Chain A
Amino acid sequence: MLSFTLNGLRFKNPLILASGILDESGETMLKVIEHGAGGVVTKSIGRKPREGYENPVIYELPYGLLNAIGLANPGIENYGEEIKVAKKGGVPVIGSVFGSTVEGFVYLAKKMEEYGADAVELNLSCPHAKGYGMEVGTDIALVEEIVEGVKKEISIPVWAKITPNTENLVKIAKAVEGADALVLINTVKAMAIDIEAGMPVLSNKFGGLSGPCIKPIGVRAVYEVYREVEKPIIGVGGITYGRDAIEYLMAGATALQVGTAVYLRGIEVFSLIAKEMEEWMEKHGYAHFTELIGLAQVR
């Protein structure tokens, strides 16, 4: 009911761990896999080790999370062992990378391939690190070059994760159509102020909003891009229950990623959502989840 193949990779279910959540170390990714994830995306890895921002880097809200971890990561040269360990879980391991130039992305992607990653996800969309992610991700010519550059140099599938923090979502999606799949959305640029302290909570001031409150933004993004782009879309943003997963599928997603729900429902969230999807499909007479893809599109 839930197994499928995407870009030649076999997934037991479409619920993939989103980048940046419990995926810095290989052993933690193994735990997530044990709890039912169909695949895992690593934390976004860069050229050099990065400590990230000072605490507070996370803020809990009644409707989601605000974070500015600041792309903390051990650096690509230290990451081979983590991939090797995560691969023991027997599901696809997708290496997420971030950079600021075509050469930078190519270098990182090649390393991920060498380490045994099953695919590479290009983080073109982190909203709170200067000179990376979103700043890169809204430069239409640059994202196109990055995707083309990486595609030429590696043979494993390339996923492009794009930012929702732009009016040019569809243009950017089209610019990265050379990728094997598009991942949307990353977090939504946001801020929270503690009124007792009279200052922004995050040490970086700005952060990225995730969780249930961004689901309508993600669903809209997937719906819009599905109409314009031929490549498969991986939907992410606020997927917490089976019904959220179904909603993204109906908007046009082929696969899904889950992040903040790990905090909301615990690490067992992957098997919980899978079960809820199956129950819903049984009740509504669907034999396989792929029947739902794009169902809500009004043509």
Chain B
Amino acid sequence: MYRVVEIEEVVTETPTIKTFFFRDNSEPQPGQFYMIWLPGVDEFPMSISYIGEIKGFTVKRVGAGTARMHQLQKGDKLWIRGPYGRGFRISQKKALFVGGGSGMATLAPLIDMMPGDVVIAARTRDELLFRKRFAGRKVYLATDDGSEGFKGFAHELVEKLLHQEDYEIIYTCGPELMMRKIIDIAISKGIDVQASLERLMKCGIGICDSCSINGYRVCVDGPVFFKDELVKMKDLGKYKRDKAGRRVPL
């Protein structure tokens, strides 16, 4: 059953990303997600981007559902169910966080809870998400077009940073190809890694199989997966399943 929550504040983060703040007495872990229903429009998964008494969803506009959500304002309602899935496991290891695009939304509450350096990556300067959120630590920026910070892809910056510092674990969320590259780097360097994956979700509760990747259900076994699982995901970065369940190239 859904709970109805009221939007208390909307913050425009980038030209395509907004954060919606609300109150709800659930107690999510970083990396967990909710299903948001906009009656008559759509239902879709969203990570929690702020944890605490005031919670947040940070939403990138990609299709009809998220476009409708971007029209919502203070006082409007959201229908939510969750929290669902397995979140990040906090570790004592020296950490590097790598978020690409809206993937930063998923990582942010984890970063709030533990030390480590941060890489924020985006296509272009205006799309860098949460660049002011993490005060008092090293934040590296990367843009594909070089409009700010490192010019190039996130994984290229990560390789460079790994020469400078002895990171023991990488936490990542972002476009799948970016995560695939970062996981490969972590494997080859013998560094630990946790990644939050994104797949088409219908039920969100582990029964429909639409989100599965190589036998792992992203909605309940993940969305955060650990290194020993990630190494077994042959389809990661290569194949996905479409709405009909066909295995198609990413």
Contact = CB atoms under 8 A, between A and B. Distances in A.
B77 interface: yes
A74 B37 contact: no
Contacts of A260: 207
A74 B246 contact: yes
Q: How large is the interface on B (under 10, 10 to 19, 20 to 34, 35 or more residues)?
A: 20 to 34
A116 interface: no
Given A54-B42, A194-B39, A197-B79, A28 B212 contact: yes
A191 to B, nearest CB: 14
A3 to B, nearest CB: 25
Contacts of A78: 246-247
A60 B215 CA distance: 23
Interface string B191-219: 00000000000111111111010110100
Q: Describe B's contact surface by its main secondary structure.
A: loop
Interface residues of A, number: 44
Q: Describe A's contact surface by its main secondary structure.
A: loop
Interface stretch (A44-52, A103-111, A170-178, A246-254): A44-52
A60 B205 contact: yes
A58 B208 contact: yes
Contacts of B247: 25, 74, 78, 81
A194 B244 contact: no
Interface centre among A49, A62, A72 (most CB of B within 10 A): A72
Interface in A17-31: 20-25, 27-28, 30-31
B77 A196 contact: yes
Contacts of B242: 51
A86 B247 CA distance: 15
Contacts of A65: 207
B244 A51 contact: yes
B40 to A, nearest CB: 7
A195 to B, nearest CB: 10
Given A50-B244, A75-B244, A196-B79, A57 B208 contact: yes
A55 B200 CA distance: 11
A161 interface: no
Interface string B56-96: 00000000000000000000010101000000000000000
Interface string A269-283: 000000000000000
A55 B244 contact: no
A121 B13 CA distance: 52
B212 A262 contact: no
Given A54-B42, A55-B43, A263-B205, A72 B1 contact: no
Interface of B: 1-2, 4, 35, 37, 39-40, 42-44, 77, 79, 81, 202-210, 212, 214-215, 217, 241-247
Interchain residue pairs A-B with the least CB separation, the first 8: A27-B215, A197-B39, A55-B43, A51-B243, A49-B244, A24-B209, A58-B203, A74-B245
Given A27-B215, A67-B203, A72-B202, 10 more contacts: A21-B209, A25-B247, A27-B214, A49-B244, A49-B245, A52-B243, A78-B246, A196-B79, A199-B40, A263-B205
9 contacts: A21-B209, A25-B215, A25-B241, A51-B243, A55-B43, A55-B202, A56-B35, A57-B202, A194-B2
